[in-house]
Amino acid sequence: MAEIRIDNVSKVFGDHVAVNRANLVVEDQEFLVLLGPSGCGKTTLLRAIAGLGMADSGRISIDGRDVTYLRPGERNLSMVFQSYAIFPHMTVRDNIGFGLKMAGEDMKEIGKRVDEAAELLHIEELLERRPSDMSGGQRQRVAVARALAMKAEVLLMDEPLSNLDALLRLEMRAELKRLLQDVKATTIYVTHDQIEALSMGDRIAVMKNGVIQQVDAPSTVYAEPSNRFVGSFIGNPPMNFLEGVVAVSGDDVNVNVGANTITPDPSIARAVAAFDGKPITLGIRAENMHALDGPAADAVEVTVSVVEPLGSQNLLTVDVGGDRMKVATHPTFEVAPDDKLWVQMPTEQIRWIDPDTELVLSPAHDVESVR
């Protein structure tokens, strides 16, 4: 059992708050991805968990044991670094066994564990070679093998694939995922690559400016972002955002977007109505809209600006009101720049966002909090 519990953890460098009151529970054997843009504090939080940089405040526990101020070696965890941190002139065998040797493990057990880890990573034939003569992908495998040989209950990985070229990265992503399913360690995996996060994690914790924004399953983070930042950081293309103004008349709630009127889904209408007469932001993903070549009652009129054929789909950049958005269409849908189109936005796919707080409204949104 190795649940990791992070309670109110902060870390400050000078006057810069790198991690701001982080709260997170990673369940036993879960694969949690810590995702966010460069500089958002992911590595700082991971290092605090590892004991490589102490938290300034808060508490970190592993399996119920308070480890906040313990040395790394006392935490029963292993780590894979972005730089791999393997010794170039030591053989692969010695590199993989290094942590075990430092921990005072006996030679027979070290030999056994090195062989097992090498087999898992398919690098048995490299054991007597030196990393200085190996490719980036091979070095990366050595770093992972060294971490796995420790058989720690907690595995921390800091951007382990970021030094690999695109194709190798794709291969290793699937391979690591399979491997970690078998190893069953509780894993925290840091990346700024949202595709890696969506494809690998059991859950994703999204960070921005030292603050954890949302922790959820990949499909939830994608479809139900908690705020505008999460919607824009996850997904390629990012979620579209349009500006509208709410108009309530009796029981009718409508939102005017340029010359178009959109009626919110009944499930959210009450929360939207609280913005009567005020601006509101709509969020919708490119693939959740349907492009039509003729008008329809519930479609908004747009002008096509750019057409990008991407093989499996065409990605259109269109102008609507004063905003631009991306719309995905079937590759056989015929369209050219300057064409007029009509785009249906299924109301259940629209996320409604308070422009001031940038939070996505929920049906239970506190309508009293609207200015």
Task: Give the pair of three-digit tokens for residue 289.
Answer: 């809209």
Does residue 44 touch ligand ATP according to CB under 6 A? yes
Comparing every residue's Cβ against ligand ATP, the nearest one is: 43
Residue with tokens 């096509």: 304
Contacts (CB under 6 A) with ligand ATP, residues 9-28: 13, 16, 18
Q: Binding segment for ligand ATP among 38-46, 165-173, 239-247, 255-263 (CB under 6 A)?
A: 38-46
Does residue 43 touch ligand ATP according to CB under 6 A? yes
Q: Which is nearer to ligand ATP, 22 or 350 (CB)?
A: 22
Which DSSP string corresponds to 164-223?
S-HHHHHHHHHHHHHHHHHH--EEEEEES-HHHHHHH-SEEEEEETTEEEEEE-HHHHHH
Using the Cα atoms of residue 97, residue 84, residue 35 and residue 181 in order, give the sign of their dihedral: negative
HSE (side-chain half, CA atoms, 13 Å) at 195? 9
Name the DSSP class of 56.
S
- Give the one residue of 22, 24, 35, 36 binding ligand ATP; rule: CB under 6 A: 36
Task: Give the pair of three-digit tokens for residue 62.
Answer: 């592993």
CA distance 246 to 103: 64
Q: Binding segment for ligand ATP among 39-47, 60-68, 326-334, 336-344 (CB under 6 A)?
A: 39-47
Q: Binding segment for ligand ATP among 33-41, 179-187, 267-275, 339-347 (CB under 6 A)?
A: 33-41
Q: Which is nearer to ligand ATP, 41 or 235 (CB)?
A: 41
- Smallest separation (angstroms) from ligand ATP to the CB of 14: 6
Does residue 40 touch ligand ATP according to CB under 6 A? yes
CA distance 66 to 342: 58
Q: Which is nearer to ligand ATP, 16 or 184 (CB)?
A: 16
Q: Tell which residue, 46, 52, 249, 246, has the closest CA to residue 158.
A: 46
Q: Which is nearer to ligand ATP, 17 or 359 (CB)?
A: 17
- Give the one residue of 41, 131, 160, 244 binding ligand ATP; rule: CB under 6 A: 41
- Give the one residue of 12, 27, 39, 315 binding ligand ATP; rule: CB under 6 A: 39
Q: Which is nearer to ligand ATP, 194 or 240 (CB)?
A: 194
Q: Which is nearer to ligand ATP, 46 or 284 (CB)?
A: 46
Q: Tell which residue, 51, 2, 1, 4, has the closest CA to residue 26.
A: 4
Element (H, E) at 321: none
Name the DSSP class of 360.
B
Could you give the angle at the alpha carbon of 184 between the alpha carbons of 191 and 52, nearest 5°? 50
- Smallest separation (angstroms) from ligand ATP to the CB of 230: 15
Amino acid at 178: R
HSE (side-chain half, CA atoms, 13 Å) at 162? 17
CA distance 305 to 229: 25
- Give the one residue of 2, 5, 42, 67 binding ligand ATP; rule: CB under 6 A: 42
Q: Binding segment for ligand ATP among 40-48, 133-141, 227-235, 242-250 (CB under 6 A)?
A: 40-48
Beta-sheet strands, E only, within 55-133: 57-62, 65-66, 77-80
Total of residues contacting ligand ATP (CB under 6 A) = 12
Q: Which is nearer to ligand ATP, 43 or 281 (CB)?
A: 43
Q: Binding segment for ligand ATP among 31-39, 271-279, 302-310, 318-326 (CB under 6 A)?
A: 31-39
Q: Which is nearer to ligand ATP, 39 or 58 (CB)?
A: 39
- Smallest separation (angstroms) from ligand ATP to the CB of 62: 20
Contacts (CB under 6 A) with ligand ATP, residues 187-206: 192
Q: Which residues bind ligand ATP (CB under 6 A)?
A: 13, 16, 18, 36, 38-44, 192
